[in-house]
Amino acid sequence: MQRRPHYRFRSVWDLDAPPARVYALLEDPGRYPAWWPQVREVEPLDERSATALIRSVLPYGIHVTLTGLLRDPTRGVLEVALRGDIEGWARWTVRPRRGPGGAGTRALYEQEVDVRADPLRRMSGPARPLLRLNHAMMMRAGRRGLAALLAAPREAV
């Protein structure tokens, strides 16, 4: 049996908004398509689970089921299990940040997954750097989208 390609990702988003506000938006995956262009669809299944379609630059959409594992607003941690085209977990850790512009938030995104979908598995060897670049571009777009939403008047958020 061939080993599945394995990926670990880590992104840091510095945002000019209070941690509680950032956390509230990140804990609602149903709203992600409104601010994160690559999160094309999110359909709730129940109070803890949803399906999502994610597609960035590559001509392939990733279908995944998200199941909540940990939701701890006091510690600023959100964690989900991922099943489908990719399998593993993803975690947000939201913390206060002090910087030159004043108080804000540092949101750390970590993900560890195995690739299950055949088209992605076939691309994983030779195109591994491209897949990593694709993920980095997606994360940059997500940070920009969330920052724009946070900068909008409160009524829009």
Domains of the chain: 6-156 (3.30.530.20)
List, edge to edge, every strand of the sheet that includes 62-72. Answer: 6-15, 102-115, 86-99, 77-84, 62-72, 49-54, 39-44
Amino acid 156: pLDDT: 53
Q: Is the pTM of this model over 0.85?
A: yes
Amino acid 101: pLDDT: 64
* Ranges of the chain whose pLDDT falls below 70: 1-2, 99-102, 154-157
Amino acid 127: pLDDT: 76
Percentage helix, strand, coil for the chain under 3-state DSSP, each rounded to 5: 30, 45, 25
